[in-house]
Structure formats: C-alpha cells, structure tokens
Chain A
Amino acid sequence: SQTIHQWPATLVQPVGSPLSLECTVEGTSNPNLYWYRQAAGRGLQLLFYSVGIGQISSEVPQNLSASRPQDRQFILSSKKLLLSDSGFYLCAWSVVPGTGELFFGEGSRLTVL
C-alpha cells in the first residue's frame, strides 16, 4: 500500500534562517507531488507541484522553492524565512490518470519568530 511521510512535524525557526521540509512517498511510482500551505484560519494554497524528477511548477511568487531530486522525494526550502512563512505545510501525491484524488501527509507546522 502507498504511504507518505513528511518531516519534521513541528519546526520553530527564527526570521532569516533557512528551511528544509522533506516529503517521501512509498508504494507508487512516478506520482505527481504537491506542496500546499494552510495559514491560520485560511484554506489551502497550492505552492508547488511536480510531474517528474526535476520538474517543478510554482503557483505563487514567494520566498520558497521546491525540488524533486528523486522520483518519490519532494523538498520545500527557503534560504531566509520570513514571518509570513509561518503555517501548516502539507505534502500530497496523486496518480495520473485517475480521479484526481490527493493523498496528504500529516503536515509540518512551521512557526517563524
């Protein structure tokens, strides 16, 4: 069966520090991968998606970047965090073709102080 792992689960970082959140998927090949952010009291905003190794599409201009060094690994990074980067980050995967269902990780809560 397929599983998705996301870490760290909780992170507190000072403004200006770097960030690396990692997500790995098991039990499937060539998935589409996604990073979403959920700000406090708001919906989910799609940040990045990837349809293959090294292929990253950015949905919104921001202080973050994403990389996909391996088929089932998706990394969210920042060189210098801003206060506005605080939020709950969710990694997800899906298979194409299919019903478009996204399978989410448990999330990483980032607090920037």
Chain B
Amino acid sequence: GEDVEQSLFLSVREGDSSVINCTYTDSSSTYLYWYKQEPGAGLQLLTYIFSNMDMKQDQRLTVLLNKKDKHLSLRIADTQTGDSAIYFCAETTGGYNKLIFGAGTRLAVHP
C-alpha cells in the first residue's frame, strides 16, 4: 500500500545544516514534495522534485532523490531559527493530484 515514512523529530544548532529523510512506496510518483507547516497554520510548498531528477537545489534547500531505494531527503543549509517548523514529505498517487503525506518531522533549531 501507500506509505510515506519520516523521522518525527530533529534538533540542530543554528548555523548548522539540517537533513530530513523520507522513504516512500509508490514508485510511479511523478513528483515528490516537501511542505513546511508553521505552528497553527496550513502547509506551504517548500520545493518539489520531478521523479527523473536526482537532485534539485534552491537557495539553501537541496533535495536528493534515490529512486532505487525510494529515499528522499531535504537538506537545509545554514539553518536559522525561522526554519523551526514541521516538514512533510509527500508523494503523488492514483491520479487527481492526490498526495500522501508522511507524519512530519519537527525541526527544532537552538542557539
């Protein structure tokens, strides 16, 4: 069945890099996504990667995709306190733009 798994919590020091990992199951996903949720708010798309790409870089964000292992990661360089949030990995499945989300990784940034 469809399942997206990610670790629930990550703590990093301000200025360090953060790496959030995710595994997914649907190898037919055309796109894979990273969303960010700040406290009490909805989700906002951070970045996405097309399934035929291995890497995508967007300013401080780097997404790595290993299709063989069905592994997706998000690296945030120079992590700031404003990056503290919950980060969700998501895959598309079954058409109609249905997204299956992981449980979310809570990123805590400390001085």
Contact = CB atoms under 8 A, between A and B. Distances in A.
Contact of B45 (A43, A44, A51, A102): A102
Interface of B: 4, 30-31, 33, 40-45, 48, 88, 92, 96-104
B99 A98 contact: no
A90 B101 CA distance: 13
B92 A100 contact: yes
6 contacts: A34-B98, A43-B4, A43-B101, A44-B101, A102-B43, A103-B45
Contacts of B42: 6, 90, 92, 104-107
Interface of A: 6, 32, 34, 36, 41-44, 46, 49, 51, 57, 59, 90, 92, 94, 96, 98-107, 109
B25 to A, nearest CB: 14
A41 B77 CA distance: 26
B1 to A, nearest CB: 12
Contact of A46 (B31, B40, B99): B99
B103 A46 contact: no
In the A-B complex, the 10 residue pairs with the smallest Cβ-Cβ separation, listed nearest first, are A104-B42, A43-B103, A44-B101, A94-B97, A100-B97, A104-B43, A100-B92, A43-B101, A106-B42, A100-B31
B88 A102 contact: no
B23 to A, nearest CB: 14
Contact of B88 (A6, A44, A46, A57): A44
